[in-house]
Amino acid sequence: MKQLGLPISLNSKLLLSNFFGDKNQSLLSFIETLFTGKDSSIVFISGANSSGKTHVLQGCAFKALDQGLTAMYVDVKQELPNRFLNTLSDYDWVFVDNIDQLDVTQQQELFDLYNQIKGTSTKLIVSALVMPGELELLKDLKTRLSLAVIFSLEQLTDIEKIELIKLKMKDKNLDIDEKVYAYLFKYFSRDLTMVLSAIDRLDQESLRQKNIISIPFSKKILDI
């Protein structure tokens, strides 16, 4: 984990190089052009839960930091200081995750930030579950965001999700039968975040009970 100036950390595993981007190549290609551009740019990324929004934003933050640029990643789901978002215009890159969670004051701050970076070289990337037109935001902010370069992330298939989980388990040195993943997606949840959380629980219980993670074990522990 890489700590930022706030109580928000970047997950060192979330890199652009390991983002499952076959269906989202246009977004990744556009991001590459931003790193060579000198003008400000506003990018809006929409996508359902577990579609990879946080992965992309944090991956961009790492790439910026690795190039010696200043970057700030903010997750609106976490508590933020008052009058914070509109103080970030001096950063080279600003990432604001989950803007559908902004309160009214924060919406005004983001609107101010948007206006502050016009004519600068700051890149602002924001994310939300839905497209700008579907957000319940201040009218002026909603209008500004509708002018951004907009991308919508494609949902991963179950097979792609399983491949992603296998990579994450490899990082943890966990060897789990692939049939367990397929079982969890079919009978527990198709939400990637929920399945990953369930696997963490299974891992803890398997260590405690000194048992392997199997389908019967998963069924028992998760009460499926």
33-48: pLDDT as tens digits: 999 988 899 999 999 8
Query: Which residues on adjacent β-strands are paired with residue 149?
Result: 43
Q: Is the pLDDT of residue 141 over 50?
A: yes
pLDDT of 156: 77
pLDDT of 87: 93
Q: Can you list the alpha helix ranges (DSSP code H) found in the chain?
A: 25-34, 53-66, 104-116, 139-146, 158-171, 178-187, 192-209, 215-221
Residue pair 104/30 in contact by the 8 Å Cβ criterion: no
Q: Is the pLDDT of residue 214 over 80?
A: yes
Write out the two tokens for 94: 């600003």
Stated length of the chain: 224
- Give pLDDT tens digits for 117-139: 988 999 999 999 999 999 999 99
CA 64 from centre of chain? 16
Residues 82-101 as b or e (16 or more Cβ within 10 Å = b): eeebbebbebbbbbbbbbbe
- Give pLDDT tens digits for 86-113: 999 999 999 999 999 999 999 999 999 9
Which DSSP string do the residues of 188-215 spell out, in sequence order? T-S-HHHHHHHHHHHHHHHHHHT----H
The pLDDT confidence band at residue 8, using thresholds 50, 70 and 90, is low
SS3 state of residue 10: strand
Q: Is the pLDDT of residue 218 over 90?
A: yes
pLDDT of 7: 47
Looking at per-residue confidence, does 69 or 52 come out higher? 69
The percent of residues in the chain predicted with pLDDT above 90, rounded, is: 61
